[in-house]
Amino acid sequence: MTDVFEEVEEEIRSERLKRLARTWLPVVGAILAIALIAALSWWGWQSWQTSRANTASVAYQRGVEALIAGDAAGAESAFAEAGEAGNGAYKALALQQRAGIAEQANRIPDAIALFDQAARAEGDPVLADTARYKAALLVMDNGATLEDIEARLEPLTAEDRPMRPFAQEALGLARLQNNKPAEAREVFVLLTLGQDVPDSIRQRAQAAIGMIDSSTAAGLAAIVAAQAAEPAAATAPTGPAAAPQAPQQAAPAAGQSPQ
């Protein structure tokens, strides 16, 4: 009798295993297939991104070389190709270079639009805010109202923004140019008290305060020229491909090739 019971139990266990296999093997197979497809898709996407980055790098370098050779049309074409092929950082840099070319050709509305596009192309605050700041300077120098200028600059003056001291200085100068010396003085005082303000900006802020207090605008033009020139030197990357690979670096100066 014992042998009979053992045979019955064995048959019951075997039948249970068969039912479990019929139930779960398709599920397990589907999960494994999905995992394989996901892994292959990720590998394919990574390969595609690498290929695009290489294409953008070559095109961007070609644009830099064309700029050095004085071929603005060739540079424009190469930077447009780099922007189309590259990631957000390459696109932002290429758009800023194209904006610089447009500015040099006195196509100011086009330059402002390209800087605005560059600001939207990359989430990195250094690249994005650099483009916003350059667009604001062009707007400021080309007859915009104070309200328009403030709308562009004031967001850049928040404590966590990388271009804060430059934007504060530009905001103070815009208010000074629009006959609002008291409001401008408030901004310049903040610059003299700020801890992370470059010495050159602090010194120009002190000069502006002295100019306001003495009721003279004789030094305004020199301050504006110095203010506009400094961020270009302060934000230029060390190489044409360096900024896309390390987006924490800022964009090249408008119209200038990376060194």
* H/E segment holding residue 189: helix 181-193
* Tens of pLDDT, residues 84-140: 887 878 899 999 999 999 999 999 999 999 999 999 998 889 999 999 999 999 999
Are 93 and 252 contacting, i.e. CB atoms less than 8 angstroms apart? Answer: yes
Answer for the pair 136, 167: CB distance below 8 angstroms, yes or no: yes
Instruction: Bin 92: left if φ > 0, else alpha if -120 < ψ < 50, else beta.
Output: alpha
Question: 146-153: long-range contacts at Cβ-Cβ below 8 A with a sequence spacing of 24 or more?
Answer: 146/174, 146/175, 146/178, 146/180, 149/174, 150/174
Task: Tell me how long the chain is.
Answer: 259
Find the DSSP H helices in 86-163. 88-104, 108-121, 125-140, 146-153
pLDDT of residue 143: 85
**In contact, 227 and 208? CB cutoff 8 Å:** no
Distance CA 164, CA 5 (A): 85
Show Cβ contacts of residue 256 under 8 Å, excluding neighbours closer than 6 positions.
Answer: 67, 100, 232, 236
Q: Please check whether residue 177 is in contact with residue 195, taking contact to mean a CB–CB distance below 8 angstroms.
A: no
DSSP code, position 179: T
pLDDT for res 183: 94
Per residue in 28-45, pLDDT (tens digit) is 666 766 766 666 555 554
Q: Identify the residue whose tokens are 């639009």.
A: 113
Per-residue pLDDT, 171: 96
Residue 208: per-residue pLDDT: 92
Q: Are 165 and 129 in contact (CB under 8 A)?
A: no
Which single residue is written with the structure tokens 């020199």? Answer: 222
Residues of the chain scoring pLDDT < 50: 45, 48, 218, 221, 233-259
Spans of all domains in the chain:
22-135, 145-233
pLDDT at 118: 95
Question: Which CATH topology does 22-135 take?
Answer: 1.25.40
